[in-house]
């Protein structure tokens, strides 16, 4: 959605007035320790509503999804304190094996800011504070970053781990945020574990992933997103239309739980199209009906399916029972 994002109940500009100062060069890499987080507990059986029996002979599902043991900094790697620039302007820069616990010093956008193409961050742990821990500056249209095998563990809950356009997360462990991620277009979240969200007070709108429309080309593939807050929240995955249509979103082969609605969708509004939700496993570990009010925000139903909408292969995580698109 450009350079604005919700903080609590307000929308604030991002990157405005940030210090455009780059000091020093990128440092090399050294091995780091693993994340040390606790593995995801096994889902407990539930009597979820709105499901239909699995086809005859189909077994209960016992799929493996990302957890603390399969994401984050690999075991045996040691972290070196990061001393490079917090505003990345070098195309193709690689940041490897670093503990990133510093800020830009701007007083507002205290984060790692990406203003370069094809940046790679791997085997790192982020404990820096700020509105977000990594931000791709949308005013640089070619800027982009891949973050892999890394952990986002803020000292206090920032708005999200990563925001902006043109970024990929691969095998990352994200925890301790208001919102997990803010995809603004051309984003991929894959093989990652997003969990342990923070809701400062009842009524605070927090999401596992939050988009506000006017965006597209977003893929969630084979992630675990467990959204634990139990009141006044939106979704494990939320895609809205406040700023225009949402289009070309793929949500495939994920383990999902929690939220007011697990997938909180404004699909069918503002000309949204091509939303594909396939082969996901919905868990009742937070709420019996997957989300507090169900698994899909009413507005996307069999009779109000917008162009290109696909809902198929979605099942109960414990039983394998098929979960249909609502009537």
Domains of the chain, residue spans: 1-36+57-158, 199-327
pLDDT band at 110, cuts 50/70/90? low
Does residue 6 surpass a pLDDT of 60? no
The model's pTM is 0.80
Does residue 1 surpass a pLDDT of 60? no
Higher pLDDT, 195 or 26: 195
Model pLDDT for residues 214-256, shown as the tens digit of each residue: 889 999 999 999 987 766 677 889 887 788 888 999 999 999 9
| 177-181 average pLDDT score | 84
Q: What is the pLDDT of residue 265?
A: 79
Q: What is the pLDDT of residue 55?
A: 52
pLDDT band at 209, cuts 50/70/90? confident
Does residue 29 surpass a pLDDT of 60? no
| 134-156 average pLDDT score | 92
Q: What is the pLDDT of residue 220?
A: 97
Q: What is the pLDDT of residue 112?
A: 92
What tokens does 290 get? 């997957």
**Mean pLDDT value across the chain:** 79
Share of the chain above pLDDT 70, in %: 74
Share of the chain above pLDDT 90, in %: 45
């Amino acid at each position: 959605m450009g350079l604005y994002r919700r903080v609590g109940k307000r929308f604030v500009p991002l990157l405005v007035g940030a210090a455009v100062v780059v000091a020093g060069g990128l440092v090399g890499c050294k091995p780091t320790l693993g994340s040390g987080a606790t593995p995801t507990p096994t889902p407990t059986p539930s009597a979820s509503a709105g499901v239909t029996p699995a086809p005859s002979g189909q077994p209960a599902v016992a799929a493996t999804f990302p957890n603390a043991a399969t994401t984050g900094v690999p075991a045996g790697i040691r972290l070196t304190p990061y001393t490079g620039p917090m505003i990345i302007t070098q195309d193709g820069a690689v940041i490897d094996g670093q503990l990133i616990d510093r800020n830009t010093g701007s007083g507002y956008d205290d984060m790692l800011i990406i203003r370069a193409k094809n940046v790679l961050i791997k085997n790192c742990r982020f404990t820096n504070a700020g509105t977000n821990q990594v931000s791709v500056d949308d005013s640089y249209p070619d800027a982009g970053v891949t973050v892999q095998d890394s952990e986002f563990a803020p000292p206090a809950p920032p708005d999200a781990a990563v925001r902006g356009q043109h970024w990929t997360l691969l095998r990352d462990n994200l925890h301790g945020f208001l919102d997990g991620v803010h995809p603004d277009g051309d984003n991929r979240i894959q093989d990652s574990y997003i969990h342990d969200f923070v809701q400062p007070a009842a009524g605070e709108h927090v999401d596992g992933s939050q988009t506000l429309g006017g965006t597209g080309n977003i893929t969630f593939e084979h992630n675990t997103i467990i959204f634990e807050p139990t009141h006044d929240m939106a979704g494990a995955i939320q895609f809205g239309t406040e700023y225009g249509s949402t289009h070309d979103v793929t949500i495939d082969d994920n383990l999902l739980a929690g939220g007011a609605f697990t997938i909180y969708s404004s699909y069918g509004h503002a000309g949204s199209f091509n939303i594909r939700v396939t082969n996901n496993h919905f868990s009742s570990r937070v709420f019996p009906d997957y989300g507090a009010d169900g698994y899909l925000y009413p507005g996307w139903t069999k009779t109000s399916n917008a162009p290109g909408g696909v809902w198929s292969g979605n099942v109960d995580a414990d039983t394998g029972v098929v979960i249909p698109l609502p009537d």
